[in-house]
Chain A
Amino acid sequence: MRYHQADYDVPLLFEACDEQKIDDRFDPTIGGAIPKGLLRSDLNIPDLPERDVVKHFINLSQMNFGVDNGLYPLGSCTMKYNPKICDEVVSWPSVASIHPHQDPSTVQGALRLMHELEGMLCEIGGVDAVTLQPAAGAQGEYTGIHIVRAYHEARGEKRNEVILPDTAHGTNPASAAMVGYDVLEIPSKNGCVDIEALKASISSDTAAFMLTNPNTLGIFEKDVKEIAGTLHDAGALLYYDGANLNAIMGKTSPGHMNFDIVHFNLHKTFATPHGGGGPGAGPVGVKRYLEEFLPVPRIIEKDGKYHLDYDQPKSIGKVKAYFGNFGVLVRAYAYMMMQGGPGLEAASENAVLNSNYLKDKLKDDFELPYGGLRKHEFVLSGKPLKSKGVRTLDFAKRLLDYGFHAPTIYFPIIVDEAIMIEPTETESKETLDRFVDVCKQILKEDPEILKTAPHNTSRRRMDEAKAARDMIFSWRGYKKKTENAK
């Protein structure tokens, strides 16, 4: 199969419009609703006909690559296909046209949906109570660590440290630090938590240990119950980063593994879209003894009616306006109802099967540190590429030329020249086989082709160093910079 990405010369909307032209079909006072005194004339809003705006965004979308285009094996991110029916449900007026300020008696269906979603997450997570408020996984972590602090403070204890393994996602130390904790990183052993190192690092100052299971290498931490026991004996809590929950649904749960707090990445596990920093959802679940610290309002069901309960004196407070990103919650609810329990379990089984299939097909062409089975993802080392004079980066860029998104590279840092692959359950065997063929083909290619890749994409290799050294964040910033240069 040949692949070539579309390439249009698309000007910015600001460049495309004539700044002098005012569309006289548009009444800026909106029929007199906005008083003349409040009108501004200096707003820089592009003024273009609908036809041109549609052309602009459609052409840009064709120069892009997303899960709808093809395989997107971006390890750790879980870029699975998002069923379109979930988007359709969200567009229904009963969902799209309600307002968070409406009286609860007029939005009973929405409250019921959220209450039921909390219940389903409780069952999958093995926890007793869930808040849907956090707007993303990282905010879920931040909420969870606030609960850690509230728990210790309620017990009259002051603890200052959160421990993490060296394979932790970068958001873990960031979340702990933002809540005010000192972060202690412990080294891994054979790709898993080094229990001796963990024991040596635990003290009366330890507030919590944050862990993903399966971990970042895709390996299941078999000693998790011993880890939990060690922490609980020391009076500390165990936090589950839900990034990899999609590997274990229906098989086990964070609660069963004796975690105290867990966040769920709805966009990873329950197929809601990954926003470009856009609306997400990172619900947090806790065991019964932590429920009183959850954010308000809590959704309460009584005699078939749903209420919002703000009377929670020990709550950490609100973490997000209103009730979280409702549209994302509805998508996750639709996905879970569509799959049912057996469907979710099958999703995890197929994610693990696809990952191990790819791993076994590719491990001899690269290196696989720490052998054995994997869960939903695996990490290869691109070290053997060095003998050809190329690096993981070059290999990843070359994959783009064949219509695949690149895997995650150079993470986790404990694997040299890491290539982190997560196919997800939604890809067919035919797609996986083609990916394997392409990987093997690339290894046989002239190193120069790899070093100058990509060749078939709308844009060639980006100057990442310039992007990081010379950052411009907005059109206004760009204009300022170019004017200064003149």
Chain B
Amino acid sequence: MSVVQPDLKYTKNHEWVKIEGNLARIGITDHAQAELTEIVFVELPSTGKDVSKGDVLGNVESVKTVSEVFSPVSGTVNEKNDKLVDSPELLNKDPYGEGWIAAVELRNQDDLSDLMSADDYRKLLGE
């Protein structure tokens, strides 16, 4: 059974969002990394890039497939996790911690209300 962190928000595409004031830190869930299997390459967005909700934020490539990571919110990319370039396995080892992908400065706080709670996400997984 995959780990769902109670204090985070989730999307149906298996991204998680951690709200840090005006910043949304984004990653992929434990379920997502388990489905992808061993991750070998991560493509990060550039900082300063403007993204709209639903835009492609980056790409995650595993031995099994390539998957797009969508931005759950609109705003400006403020930080990206450069550690993933040399150590993509962090996404497998610590998806909710060291495996974060990017942080987006929110343009619209209302975006957050569309996200799922941990309970709803657990229901989506049906585990």
Contacts and interface: CB of A to CB of B under 8 A. Distances in A.
B65 A464 contact: no
Contacts of B88: 469
Interface in A395-437: 410, 413
B40 A393 contact: no
A465 B65 contact: no
Contacts of B37: 391, 393
A400 to B, nearest CB: 17
A469 B89 CA distance: 10
Interface string B46-88: 0000000000000001011100000000000000000000001
Interface in A339-391: 391
B64 A465 contact: no
Contacts of A391: 37
Contacts of A413: 65
Interface residue tally of chain A, by bracket?
Answer: under 10
Nearest to B88: A469
B38 interface: yes
A410 B89 contact: no
B64 A410 contact: yes
Contacts of B89: 465, 469
A468 interface: yes
B70 to A, nearest CB: 14
B63 A468 contact: yes
A393 B64 contact: yes
A413 B39 CA distance: 16
A464 B89 CA distance: 13
A410 B41 contact: no
Contacts of B63: 464-465, 468
Interface of B: 37-41, 61, 63-65, 88-89
A1 B85 CA distance: 47
21 contacts: A391-B37, A393-B37, A393-B64, A410-B64, A410-B65, A413-B65, A464-B38, A464-B63, A465-B38, A465-B39, A465-B40, A465-B63, A465-B89, A468-B40, A468-B41, A468-B61, A468-B63, A469-B40, A469-B41, A469-B88, A469-B89
A468 B65 CA distance: 12
Contacts of A410: 64-65
Contacts of B64: 393, 410
A24 B65 CA distance: 52
B12 to A, nearest CB: 15
B119 to A, nearest CB: 23
Given A410-B65, A469-B40, 10 more contacts: A464-B38, A465-B38, A465-B39, A465-B63, A465-B89, A468-B40, A468-B41, A468-B61, A469-B41, A469-B89
A413 B40 CA distance: 18
A468 B89 CA distance: 12
Nearest to A469: B40
Interface in A27-74: none
A464 B41 CA distance: 12
Contacts of B65: 410, 413
A413 B63 CA distance: 13
A391 B65 CA distance: 14
Contacts of B41: 468-469
Nearest to B41: A468
Nearest to B35: A416
A90 to B, nearest CB: 37
Interface string A451-470: 00000000000001100110
A465 B63 CA distance: 6
A391 B34 CA distance: 11
A302 B113 CA distance: 74
